Amino acid sequence: MATEQLLKNSSLKVPAVEVIDLLSDEEIETGGATTQRVSRDAPNDELYREEEGGEEGWESESLYADALEGMGDEHLFEGEPDACTLDEALAFRKRLRAIGEDRFVLETVEAGTISAKKLCTAFGIRPPPFLENAPDEAYYPLLGLGITRELSKRLKLSKYNTVDDAVKLLRKSKNIIVLTGAGISTSLGIPDFRSKDTGLYSKLEHLGLSDPQEVFDIEIFREDPSIFYSVAKDILPTTKRFSPTHAFIRLLQDKGKLLTNFTQNIDNIEGHAGIRPEKLIQCHGSFATASCLKCKHKVSCQEIYKDLKAGNVARCARCYRELLGVRKQGLKRKRGSDNTRKAKKRRSSEEDTEDEGEYDLPEAGVMKPDITFFGEDLPATFHDRLVKHDKALVDLVIVIGTSLKVAPVSEVVGFLPPNVPQIYISRTPVSHVNFDIDMLGDCDIVVAELCRRAGWELTHEMVPKDQSVDVKVQLGYESRHVFKVIDP
């Protein structure tokens, strides 16, 4: 039975919303509709279209997404009821690649050697509660998705495993792509987005949104910009300090090794750290400038800083000046309840005031910081730099402080040549990308230790000169390392 048949042959009738991204285990967040792939041959930009029963479709979308995110290798290692062990999972994945999907399905599920429900766990899928007590065939769609996702992953390069391997790569590489996320700024007191209890999204429940990401949805911003402005002060950069991780990227630049820093951050701290504009791609824009949604007038964000800090919706100064220049007699008077124009009232000069309530006055445009909202295109420089320049030159990829959940930046590591080594540095691992070396812990601690081992001087006030770091291989993994500072 081919994977496509697994996707179809289910006794459970699921709405036509096979809503899982098969190139990663996350939904592709592009704002508005959610881009999904229902098979490897489906168009990459096929959008879910709400039909009759659409609300049920969106609920199933969430349930399937939770299932695909639900079981990383760390769970298999620790042991989960009715799940494959980590060794079994690794063996199944290896066998799948060796013999292909059709033969793999025939010798496993079709041969009755393992249930589809249990085999799902080998591919990082936690059997969802809504399928409890369903026949095994009900798990075929999920298994088909898991198999296709596994085959789409880049294979880990087996020769890179240790911290010393990472250090050697740093020393010899000359064109390093560094892809960064919010985790490199948290040591400065700037919250990330997704951390439980401390991330920005966890603090937005009071807004009453169905999804906290709606704060950064361009359509919602156009409808009600006050929602964004009410939280803007919490993400507005207020410091020109930079973290040791920013200093590490600057050090790579100074050594002539930095090809490009692709940052998802909007805090503009890379500039404070001295990363040159020609080495920096701000994938999601920044707070450096703001533009009017109506007339497109662009200003420095300093001009609307007071409004951002106060939570007030900023309006365009140029629009306002133009409106002030409009002669009052050129404005349309409001109609009365009887749909007739209000009669003009003769006033003395003392009574003649700017009573704007009598007029249909156009408003000045809303100023939007030039950060990329869900539903907006990324800057053209992102695509041009990656495709036309970096892909042919890169010799090392370092991903720092991001869970790689937002497309299209999340797709960068899969787009680059698979023979280029990839290193991951963050507090927690990701399961939807096969990095060659995972280094887990505080980003600042990890990069400082790498520099020490490389013989590089990383000078920063937040890195004690006598700092000692304990590095241990995570049990059950050959290439996953945990970094912790040893208390003096």
Helix, strand, coil percentages (3-state) for the chain, rounded to 5, are 40, 15, 45
Measured distance CA(288)–CA(192) in Å, rounded: 19
Q: Tokens 């899969």 map to which residue?
A: 414
User: Of these residues, 284, 432, 460, 481, which one is catalytic?
Assistant: 284
Q: Say whether the peptide bond before residue 408 is cis (omega within 30 degrees of 0).
A: yes
Task: Give the helix/strand (H/E) hosting 437.
Answer: strand 437-440
| pLDDT at residue 209 in the model | 60
Q: What is the pLDDT of residues 15-66, one digit of tens each?
A: 222 223 333 333 333 333 333 332 333 333 332 233 333 444 334 444 555 5
Could you confirm whether 460 is annotated as catalytic? no
| pLDDT at residue 193 in the model | 62
pTM of the model: 0.72
Query: How many CB atoms lie under 10 A from the CB of residue 461?
Result: 8
| pLDDT at residue 162 in the model | 97
Measured distance CA(9)–CA(24) in Å, rounded: 23
Measured distance CA(318)–CA(295) in Å, rounded: 8
For residue 282, list its beta bridge partners.
263
- 404 phi, psi to nearest 5 deg: 55, 55
Measured distance CA(200)–CA(198) in Å, rounded: 7
| Tokens representing residue 241 in the block | 């300090």
CB 316 within 8 A of CB 295: yes
| pLDDT at residue 285 in the model | 86
| pLDDT at residue 322 in the model | 84
With a CB cutoff of 8 Å and minimum separation 6, the contacts of 351 are: none
What does the DSSP 8-state code read for residue 304? G
Strands 437-440 and 422-426 turn out to be parallel
Measured distance CA(451)–CA(344) in Å, rounded: 77
What does the DSSP 8-state code read for residue 236? S
Query: How many CB atoms lie under 10 A from the CB of residue 162?
Result: 14
Q: What is the mean pLDDT of each run of 10 residues along the chain (488 residues)?
A: 52 30 35 33 32 39 54 72 88 94 94 94 87 91 89 92 98 98 88 59 58 79 89 75 96 98 90 94 88 92 88 90 66 53 46 47 84 85 92 97 86 92 95 93 97 95 93 92 92
| Tokens representing residue 347 in the block | 């006033």
Strands 396-400 and 437-440 turn out to be unpaired
For 98-110, the DSSP string reads: HH-HHHHHHHTTT
With a CB cutoff of 8 Å and minimum separation 6, the contacts of 393 are: 175, 259
- 268 phi, psi to nearest 5 deg: 65, 20
With a CB cutoff of 8 Å and minimum separation 6, the contacts of 469 are: 445, 448, 449, 452, 483, 484, 485, 486
